[in-house]
Amino acid sequence: MKRLLPILMLLLLLTGCGIHRNRDHLSIRPHVEQPTQAPTELPDELPVVSSRLELRGAILSLIENWKESGLILIRDYDGDVEQHLSEAIEFTTRQNPTGAYAVDFATGELLQQDGEQYIQMSIVFRRSAAEIDSIVRVNDNKAAYLKIIEALESFSNSLTLKIQNYKNEDFSTYILDYCLANPRTILAIPEFSATVYPEKGTSRILELHFAYPESKEAMRTKLQSIRTIFDSAARYMAMGSNELGCARQLYRYLINRHGLSSIEEQSPYTIAEQMPSMPCYSLLFEDLAHHLSLSVFFQEQCEAAGLRSYIVKGQKGDQPYYWNILQIGEETFHVDLLRCIVEGEKELRLFYDEELLATGYDWDRAAYPSAPKPVEEDPDPSETDETGTEAVEPTVTVPETTEPQATEPKATETTPTESSSTTQSETEPTDLTDSTEAPTEPTTQTE
């Protein structure tokens, strides 16, 4: 064949045969009156094609089986073989998911011997045979998500999925959100890339690569340590007498876990400027406080305790910022643990929408429950006695340290409990949150 190459090129020039370049693959189409001779020794079994669809299938079979070259036998062909060959190469290497993922370029050449016509295929791959064999086939995006979760929880470095019924979705956002929502099973937020082949089509290949800060063994060990701390915090959190008390206990745990009686003595945390790759580990074992780490930790513990809460992705000033929203009964509050730590708060401080907006926070308010500040109303003793509803009493906005108002008809009933919560806030967690005062306490902390 090597000695025939100069002759072949000369024949191409003399007979008017063309070299057709389609994108980045090269297809030589010899004139049918001057076919190149096929090799004298042919394989025992060759794929036989007689239509464009069969030709596509034969080329695709070579790709999927990582064959760098191969012969295809043409018999009783229906149509223009030369035209269909160029179309088939374009389809299998650019429009088919496996070809678009695995092939750099491919060429096809018409040959003839003993009255038979053949196509000699040559394929240059950019993926190895092992990479092609490792492609995981799934039916839809939902099944793809399950495979992604498996890869994240096993600290896999790569995952390649062939999704039969593909829908355009932001897989990067899904991966980040899942890592943030599952710190008990996902230690680190990996650096990752996602590439789809081809750009269009109902069936596509999704290629994912993950990069972790440490080895699998090291991260598994640290993940087990994190779970131990989570369990310890959950026990401390359970000391609260109601839902709000549990949330406040969690803040006390963060402040007091180093033996400090108050954050005013000395802050146990260093404020981290960069988003950590291992949020909860950096918070609990390296004492690096970041708004993302604190919101992830708060969210996980609230979910474990059965509290309704959300991680809010928004901005503070012109920088991305994370915090939480907490729902207690009919009331909703914002929780910013980092702000509490920075400002040296002894107790968990809760905020309403108006307070955050006034201090530079911004978020998609349609995507999260609203937390409006309750409207203050003048007390009506007759209505209060009749309904017995204490949640709407104007004392909802009065700080815990403020003496009960003399105009309150029920002040003598609530004063002992409020006094107990303010004087024993750090040593007696269960006295902090009397169940009858749960709806009123968050507002008192905003003063």
Residues 38, 85: contact at Cβ < 8 Å? Answer: no
Backbone angles phi, psi at 220, to 5 degrees: -65, -40
CA–centroid distance for 249 within its chain: 30
User: For residue 406, what are its two tokens?
Assistant: 């003399």
**Residue 204 included in any domain:** yes
Are 237 and 168 found together in one domain? no
Residues 29, 18: contact at Cβ < 8 Å? Answer: yes
CA-to-CA separations, 418 to 325, 328, 422, in angstroms, rounded? 25, 19, 6
pLDDT in the model for residue 444: 38
**Residue 371 included in any domain:** yes
**Residue 362 included in any domain:** yes
**Residue 375 included in any domain:** yes
pTM for the complete prediction? 0.69
pLDDT in the model for residue 52: 94
Q: How far apart are CA 230 and CA 31, in angstroms?
A: 74
Residues 199, 313: contact at Cβ < 8 Å? Answer: no
Q: How far apart are CA 38 and CA 24, in angstroms?
A: 26
Are 316 and 431 found together in one domain? yes
CA–centroid distance for 208 within its chain: 12
Are 378 and 423 found together in one domain? yes
Task: Report the residue count for the chain.
Answer: 447
Q: How far apart are CA 41 and CA 37, in angstroms?
A: 11
**Residue 218 included in any domain:** no
Are 429 and 296 found together in one domain? yes
Which of 127, 157, 186 lies at the terminal end of a domain, its last residue?
Answer: 127
Are 404 and 268 found together in one domain? yes
Are 263 and 336 found together in one domain? yes
Are 188 and 337 found together in one domain? no
Are 296 and 322 found together in one domain? yes
Which of 127, 144, 166 lies at the terminal end of a domain, its last residue?
Answer: 127
**Residue 219 included in any domain:** no
Residue in 100, 90, 44, 97 with CA at minimum distance from that of residue 71? 44
**Residue 233 included in any domain:** yes
Q: How far apart are CA 179 and CA 279, in angstroms?
A: 10
296-324 pLDDT per residue, tens: 999 999 999 999 999 999 999 999 999 99
List of the chain residues with pLDDT < 50 = 1-35, 260-262, 383-447
Domain count within the chain: 3
Are 331 and 255 found together in one domain? yes
Are 165 and 239 found together in one domain? no
Residue in 272, 251, 246 with CA at minimum distance from that of residue 262? 251
Which of 68, 97, 127 lies at the terminal end of a domain, its last residue?
Answer: 127
> Which DSSP symbol is given to 188?
-
**Residue 220 included in any domain:** no
The CATH number for 249's domain is 3.10.620
Which domain covers residue 234, as residue numbers?
Answer: 225-444
Coil/strand/helix, residue 261: coil
Are 162 and 107 found together in one domain? no
